[in-house]
Amino acid sequence: MADPFSVTTETLRLIVAIRDRQSQVRQNKKKCQQLIDHVRLLEAILRQLEGSPTLDTTTPVAGAFSRLQLALKDADTLIARAGSMGKVSSFINAMDTKQEFVNVSSALSMSIQGLMLAQSSSGQNDIMEIRRSISKLAQDVVATEYPLELDSRQERLYVNMRQILDQMHNGTTAFSDGRTAMYRLLEDAVGKEDLQAEQQQTFEYIAAELKMASTKKGVMEDFYLRQIQAAIDEGMPRESQYSSRKAYLCPITLQVMKTPVMIIETGVTYEKTSIENWFARGFRTCPVTGKNLASTQLVVNRGLQDAIEGWMRQAEGASSQVPNNGSIRAS
């Protein structure tokens, strides 16, 4: 037999946590607010149920509230993730984020309908009033129209971005041309300063999405995400990224890198063989940040590789020599 006080208290705790997230939302504000508003109305209904003689105490109640709690946890996770995105991540994932809110709302609506099971046969007037409130809220939640939260110019650019990615995928646009066009498009969509400032945050976001792509989004989305990441990496101004020669040195060996690769989750670059040896020894952390890694996936840092090769060519042209051990004096 379910404890009516316990199940409503735990559910209300989850709702309060969602309400408290409102002050932390920076992006996707309209979508997050719409979902939070629904949760607020749900809270009012549960306050009516809490301690009410109409609350049933039979086994089905536990199942109904368990499903509701699961839906609320999914809503909380979505609000936290969507609300903390950067401008770049919000733009490149606008359509998928909108669909996630639709999916979470659908599951929440179904779980709200399950609260009908929490009504006993006593207190008929109270039952009818609460059931009407439950039914209306469930209908309102599933019928919610979530916006993309892009202005008309950004919507046009978003469509153009997807077209470029499609053309790259089917071979009608060369990868180099597509990535160049995409970088310029992203600069136009979110602004050059934000695009550069959010590079690492965007790479961390893409890493998380790539992890999901293999099971939820499929091969096509995996391709899109990798090309967007490459476009940002290749398009970033070299003089701002690599103005110091220290960037040419592997953090592990302190030698000039020949094949610089980046840990996607942290954005830190290492010599390929060095970081692969680190992982081969059983470590699942980033040596510089110490962060535990969900994935040891690496991507070639083409921008840094180009900068190093350019520096080497310039040094050779000036008849300068790099010491035999491959080290350089950091400036």
Q: Answer with the one of 204, 235, 266 that is the final residue of a domain.
A: 235
- pLDDT value for 323: 47
In a domain, 72, yes or no: yes
Q: Exposure pattern of 146-169 as b/e (b: 16+ CB <10 Å)?
A: bebbbeeebeebbeebeebbeebe
**Which of the four pLDDT bands, split at 50, 70 and 90, describes residue 126?**
low
Structural domain for 116, as ranges: 4-142
In a domain, 328, yes or no: no
**Which of the four pLDDT bands, split at 50, 70 and 90, describes residue 111?**
very high
Q: Do 170 and 279 lie in a common domain?
A: no
Q: Do 203 and 217 lie in a common domain?
A: yes
Q: Do 282 and 208 lie in a common domain?
A: no
DSSP assignments along 254-300, one per residue: -SB-SSEEEETTT--EEEHHHHHHHHHTT--B-TTT-PBPS---EEE
Q: Answer with the one of 83, 115, 142 that is the final residue of a domain.
A: 142
- pLDDT value for 232: 84
- pLDDT value for 325: 47
- From residue 287, alpha-carbon distances to 74, 128, 275, 279, 294 in Å are 33, 61, 9, 10, 14
- pLDDT value for 118: 57
Q: The whole model's pTM is what?
A: 0.71
Q: Do 226 and 250 lie in a common domain?
A: no
Q: Do 52 and 128 lie in a common domain?
A: yes
Residue range 221-246: mean pLDDT, rounded: 72
Strands 260-263 and 269-271: antiparallel
Q: Do 20 and 115 lie in a common domain?
A: yes
- pLDDT value for 199: 80
Q: What is the CATH number of the domain that holds 313?
A: 3.30.40.10
**Which of the four pLDDT bands, split at 50, 70 and 90, describes residue 238?**
low
Is the predicted pLDDT of residue 329 greater than 50, yes or no?
Answer: no
Q: Do 8 and 112 lie in a common domain?
A: yes
- pLDDT value for 322: 44
Q: Do 64 and 36 lie in a common domain?
A: yes
Residue 115 and residue 134 in contact, taking contact as beta carbons nearer than 8 Å: yes
In a domain, 111, yes or no: yes
Q: Do 106 and 166 lie in a common domain?
A: no
Q: What digits encode the pLDDT tens for the residues 281-322? A: 899 999 988 888 888 888 888 777 877 887 777 766 654 444
Residue 297 and residue 327 in contact, taking contact as beta carbons nearer than 8 Å: no
Mean of per-residue pLDDT scores for the chain: 82
In a domain, 199, yes or no: yes
In a domain, 322, yes or no: no
In a domain, 195, yes or no: yes
In the chain, how many domains are there? 3
- pLDDT value for 40: 94
Residue 201 and residue 266 in contact, taking contact as beta carbons nearer than 8 Å: no
In a domain, 327, yes or no: no
Q: Do 178 and 203 lie in a common domain?
A: yes
Q: Do 135 and 72 lie in a common domain?
A: yes
Residue 118 and residue 67 in contact, taking contact as beta carbons nearer than 8 Å: no
Residue range 219-240: mean pLDDT, rounded: 77
Residue 72 and residue 39 in contact, taking contact as beta carbons nearer than 8 Å: yes
Is the predicted pLDDT of residue 244 greater than 70, yes or no?
Answer: no
Q: Answer with the one of 209, 235, 261 that is the final residue of a domain.
A: 235
- pLDDT value for 187: 95
Residue range 194-205: mean pLDDT, rounded: 82
Higher pLDDT, 148 or 8: 148
In a domain, 325, yes or no: no
Higher pLDDT, 243 or 126: 126
Higher pLDDT, 314 or 87: 87
Q: Do 287 and 194 lie in a common domain?
A: no
DSSP assignments along 101-113, one per residue: HHHHHHHHHHHHH
